[in-house]
């Protein structure tokens, strides 16, 4: 039996891509932590979804899962309140995905805007690795020759992830909204054909503040592939180096030159991690009194203070502890998923 509460349920998920950086924290994880009290949270590791990026190499999926979940735990997600689990360990995801695949047309999935991004990424990757079929000129590798059944069905699997837990709310970045929309369409169609089983989830777009996109050390979007990241698991020293290497206002060359905080990357970090000193820093930067080196040192210290509790929590979670937490979360998730599948099979006369 699954326990029910009056709280709305959140199903949130991330692809198992390894260590998280500050951009992931500010853009998503921090919100998960904040929503813990208000909602009932289920946190899914989308480890099957990773296969769309590289189906051939699966050896990094588990280590990447462990790193990512360790970051969730370090950030303050309480495993006793909010189960964390791998998609691959709850087979009901596959069953519901199959049933849902009959309820959505090929053309609907081809219209999914994220499919285009995936194709572009695949092309880049093929070129980078030079594994494109040598016998065919590259321009003959058509889009439909690159896209697998799994790419097309990516949002269908995500719909199963969400609806298996009857998630009411899905916290996502803007880019994922099309998947939530497809989820809603599938839920509606299912309910119309077979009777009311699923809620229609709403996408809760993580607040579009200037911090939802924390810039990397070069001022561009923080991204693993750009090498401009500060990881949550970085040491104090590495974090300090990340800040010290940041670009500031390029027009401020000498210490006494007046600076422009509004174009300065370091200032963005102060706004997020050192809000109390903002008025002072703004004044002193603009007057030229505050040099960039001192300003960065201060920023690094404040960021490290901010991260200190996370570093402390991290100590508690070695690989075995993370695996135990996943195993426990998977048992809880499975109970909910099995309950839903009983209703689904009954509704569809497969009971």
Provide the binding-site residues for ligand TRP, judged by CB under 6 A. Answer: 11-15, 44, 46, 49, 158, 161-162, 170, 172, 176
Output the smallest distance, CB 167 to ligand TRP, in A: 7
Q: Which is nearer to ligand TRP, 11 or 230 (CB)?
A: 11
Q: In what order do the strands lie in the sheet with 9-15?
A: 84-86, 40-46, 9-15, 169-172, 202-205
Output the smallest distance, CB 219 to ligand TRP, in A: 24
Q: Which is nearer to ligand TRP, 27 or 261 (CB)?
A: 27
Residues with Cβ within 8 Å of residue 261, at least 6 apart in sequence: 249, 267, 281, 282, 285, 286
Rounded to whole angstroms, the Cα distance separating 242 from 11 reads 33
* Pair 153, 109: CB distance under 8 Å: yes
Residues with Cβ within 8 Å of residue 250, at least 6 apart in sequence: none
Output the smallest distance, CB 148 to ligand TRP, in A: 16
- Residue nearest ligand TRP, CB atom distance: 13
Output the smallest distance, CB 159 to ligand TRP, in A: 8
Output the smallest distance, CB 61 to ligand TRP, in A: 14
Output the smallest distance, CB 13 to ligand TRP, in A: 3
Identify the burial level of 74 via C-beta atoms within 10 angstroms of its C-beta, where 0-12 means exposed, 13-18 middle and 19 or more buried.
buried
Residues with Cβ within 8 Å of residue 135, at least 6 apart in sequence: none
Q: Which is nearer to ligand TRP, 136 or 188 (CB)?
A: 188
How far, rounded to the nearest angstrom, does the alpha carbon of residue 312 sit from its chain's CA centroid? 23
* Pair 206, 176: CB distance under 8 Å: no
């Amino acid at each position: 039996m699954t326990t029910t509460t009056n709280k709305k349920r959140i199903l949130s998920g991330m692809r198992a891509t390894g260590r998280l950086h500050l951009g992931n924290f500010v853009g998503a994880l921090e919100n998960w932590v904040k929503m813990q009290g208000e909602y009932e949270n289920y946190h899914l590791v989308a480890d099957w979804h990773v296969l769309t990026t590289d189906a051939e190499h699966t050896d990094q999926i588990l280590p990447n899962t462990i790193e990512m979940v360790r970051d969730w735990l370090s950030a303050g997600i309480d495993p006793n309140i909010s189960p964390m689990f791998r998609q691959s360990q709850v087979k009901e995801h596959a069953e519901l995905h199959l049933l849902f695949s009959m309820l959505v047309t090929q053309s609907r999935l081809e219209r999914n805007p994220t499919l285009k991004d995936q194709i572009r990424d695949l092309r880049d990757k093929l070129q980078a690795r030079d594994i494109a079929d040598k016998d065919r000129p590259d321009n003959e590798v058509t889009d439909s020759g690159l896209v697998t059944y799994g790419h097309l069905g990516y949002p269908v699997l995500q719909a199963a992830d969400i609806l298996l837990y009857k998630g009411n709310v899905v916290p996502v970045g803007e880019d994922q909204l099309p998947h939530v929309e497809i989820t809603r369409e599938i839920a509606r169609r299912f309910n119309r054909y077979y009777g009311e089983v699923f809620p229609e989830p709403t996408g809760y777009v993580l607040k579009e503040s200037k911090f939802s996109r924390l810039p990397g050390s070069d001022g561009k979007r923080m991204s693993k592939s750009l090498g401009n990241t500060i990881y949550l698991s970085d040491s104090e020293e590495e974090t300090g180096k990340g800040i010290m290497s940041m670009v500031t206002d390029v027009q401020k060359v000498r210490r006494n030159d007046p600076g422009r905080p509004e174009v300065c990357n370091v200032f963005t970090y102060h706004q997020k991690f050192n809000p109390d000193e903002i008025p002072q820093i703004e004044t002193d930067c603009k007057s030229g009194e505050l040099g960039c080196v001192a300003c960065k040192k201060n920023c690094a210290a404040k960021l490290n203070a901010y991260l200190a509790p996370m570093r402390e929590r991290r100590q508690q979670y070695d690989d075995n502890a993370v695996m135990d937490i996943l195993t426990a979360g998977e048992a809880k998730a499975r109970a909910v998923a099995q309950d839903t599948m009983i209703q689904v099979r009954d509704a569809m006369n497969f009971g």
